[in-house]
Amino acid sequence: MGSEHEVLLYYTEVCWLVRGQVLKQLFELRTEVLLFLKDKGNSLSEYLKSEDLVRGLAYLADIFTQLNEINLSLQGSAVTIVDASERLKAFICKLPLWKRKVESGNFANFPMFEELIAQGDGNTISKMLQKEVSKHLDTLQTSFEGYFNLESL
């Protein structure tokens, strides 16, 4: 298939789960997964043909990468409560900035998503998907603020 992922071992699959990179790996292997599903006659292959669904997968891979990074930065014996609260506060403050950028058509904070859009038809994205991403970022911010009070951080 010409993919750099030629052999997938069970150990590797477990590492993806542990490292929180499942969506990123699925996105990177989407062509191979599509071919596999087609070969098996599975109807799920139709979903991977949808541009909006693949773009949504790219966005989710990017946002989960960000969430995984914040999660990992909060772990370890060297992380103090001050470090953790500053990192959480910084992440929560980034969410409305990302939302404004997405609403203005700037996807620089989501590299896989941005690259996929750039490869498409003239850097366009459906307004529905753009609204969904914006809504998701808003919901994510609300959820984080529900768990962590910014004033107490």
**Claim to verify: residue 44 and residue 55 sit in the same structural domain:** no
**Claim to verify: residue 21 and residue 81 sit in the same structural domain:** no
**Residue of 110, 122, 106, 7 whose CA lies nearest to 56:** 110
**Claim to verify: residue 30 and residue 74 sit in the same structural domain:** no
**Claim to verify: residue 116 and residue 68 sit in the same structural domain:** yes
pTM, two decimal places: 0.82
Give the count of alpha carbons within 13 A of 55, CB side only.
22
Query: In which domain, by residue range, is 32 found?
Result: 1-49
Write the pLDDT tens digit of every residue in 22-68.
889 889 889 999 999 999 999 988 888 888 889 999 999 999 999 99
Number of domains in the chain: 2
